[in-house]
């Protein structure tokens, strides 16, 4: 949402008709993420064994040790960059099927009254993000939002919940 000039190039129709330009956009996205390391929020979630549903494509939850359900897939491997336009789920593009959406709904539907659904740094701009919150509430889960300074507030929140 914050970069419409990039967002408009993340459609399957664009990838299929502008191979080189799409591949370059993905190369740039990957370059922007190269060197990114998990922060304490990623590690805390992994240490506490919190099931993760993420919209991020950076792979940081997996690097930290979580078995994250990546709603929008990941990025191509370095040796796949020349054919990035043809790959599915690397990342999921507008117009692509999103196979992990069903997994996410199933995870949230399994929540019970008294469970906690922790939302970390997730916008209200994406339909599935809003839907999953509503399903969690409907299942009786307590929804806790951490929208600022997640790197410091996630561990504090988890420690407070487990006292």
pLDDT band at 2 (very low <50, low <70, confident <90, very high): low
Which of the following is catalytic: 18, 19, 42, 72?
72
CA proximity to 77, closest of 92, 60, 90: 90
Which helix (DSSP H) or strand (DSSP E) does residue 20 occupy?
helix 19-33
Dump pLDDT digits (tens) for 56-108: 999 999 999 999 999 999 999 999 999 999 999 999 999 999 999 999 999 99
pLDDT at 124: 79
In the residue annotation, 125 being an active-site residue is answered as no
């Amino acid at each position: 949402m914050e970069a419409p000039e990039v967002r408009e190039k993340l459609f399957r129709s664009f990838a299929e008709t502008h191979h080189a330009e799409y591949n370059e956009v993905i190369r740039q996205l990957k370059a922007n993420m190269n060197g990114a390391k998990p922060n304490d929020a990623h590690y805390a979630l992994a240490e506490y064994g919190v099931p993760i549903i993420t919209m991020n494509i950076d792979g940081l939850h997996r690097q930290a040790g979580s078995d994250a359900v990546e709603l929008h897939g990941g990025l191509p491997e370095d040796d796949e960059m020349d054919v990035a336009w043809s790959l599915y789920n690397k990342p999921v593009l507008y117009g692509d099927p999103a196979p992990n959406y069903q997994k996410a709904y199933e995870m949230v539907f399994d929540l019970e009254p008294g469970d906690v659904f922790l939302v970390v740094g997730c916008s209200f701009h994406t339909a599935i993000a809003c839907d999953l919150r509503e399903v969690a509430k409907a299942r009786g889960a307590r929804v806790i939002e951490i929208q600022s300074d997640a790197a410091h507030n996630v561990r504090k929140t988890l420690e407070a919940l487990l006292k």
